[in-house]
Amino acid sequence: MSPESKANQTIVLLHPFPFDSRIWHEVQEKLMDHGYLVLTPNFRGCGNVDLGTQPPDIELLGQDIWNLLDLAGISEPIVIGISLGGYVAMSMLRQRPLGIAGLGLVDTKASADSTQARATRMATAASMSAHTDVTELTKAMLPRLLSEFTQNHRVEETQEVLTWMQEASATTIAWLQRAMAHRPSSLAQLAKFAGPVLLMRGSEDQVCTAQDYAEMSAVLPSAEYVEIPNTAHLPPVEDPEATAAAIQNWLQFECSQLISG
């Protein structure tokens, strides 16, 4: 497959909460080295993007990405989202069921939050709305996001993840928590999707479980499932080489007609 044909198909990588697009940059570089056109947009409130004044809503984040793609003249992208990015990818699919050529869901889930999970998110949002210091929250989150292997053997990456989280504003964290708390289930929409799907999970992920992936696999029987060993919720930064290789393999064998066509 020529670099020219790969560049005809845009790949969009969507980042997790509470990070920005930097979490994808090593993977982005590796995919671009193979000739792919890869975009890593930031959600509102993340990176250098203004949060705005609209109420929290996952659908708004999905529409933001479609607006960016429309402005760039990009249609039918391959969209790969991790965690929050997966929720946004599924929102994009709900908004334009025929608009996505291929879908990658990394350490995410298609179900809506349980009552308990929603209450926890809302409590966090209330706390962040009342305080500006995110240090305690982000330190508490870290062990659930990274595998023991990463924390013990990739010390620099572990510190980088903590630094990135602590750069997030309390206001953005509160807004995103409320948006995630009220997102709908996407299982019915996934069941209707006819394009190629990659389901990727860190083998040690405590946030998105094997059961979450069993639910998605049940409605996506043709999806490719890949686990990245010794990683948890953030494979793109815990093991960017293996993550990029898995995506490259899927693009080459499952999305080849899209990219060459």
Number of C-alpha atoms within 13 angstroms, CB side, residue 158?
Answer: 17
* Alpha-carbon separation of residue 141 from 28, 165, 224, 231 (angstroms): 25, 9, 29, 15
Residue 11 pairs with which residues in a beta bridge? Answer: 38, 78
Output 45 or 3, whichever has higher pLDDT.
45
> What average pLDDT does this structure show over 4-11?
70
> What average pLDDT does this structure show over 36-50?
96
* Alpha-carbon separation of residue 186 from 111, 145, 189 (angstroms): 6, 23, 5
Kind and range of the H or E run holding 29: helix 25-33
Per-residue pLDDT at 167: 96
Neighbour order of strands in the sheet with 197-202: 37-39, 10-14, 78-82, 102-106, 197-202, 224-228
Per-residue pLDDT at 1: 43
* Alpha-carbon separation of residue 61 from 55, 214, 248 (angstroms): 11, 26, 26
Per-residue pLDDT at 7: 58
* Domains by residue range for the chain, with CATH: 3-260 (3.40.50.1820)
State the average pLDDT for the chain. 94
> What average pLDDT does this structure show over 234-238?
98
* Rounded Cα distance, 169 and 154, in Å: 26
Per-residue pLDDT at 2: 47
pLDDT higher than 90, residue 250: yes
pLDDT higher than 50, residue 121: yes
Longest dimension (CA), the chain: 53
pLDDT in tens, 216-233: 999 999 999 999 999 999
Residue showing tokens 């997966």: 86
Per-residue pLDDT at 9: 85
Name the E strands within 102-183.
102-106
Per-residue pLDDT at 68: 97
> What average pLDDT does this structure show over 94-106?
97
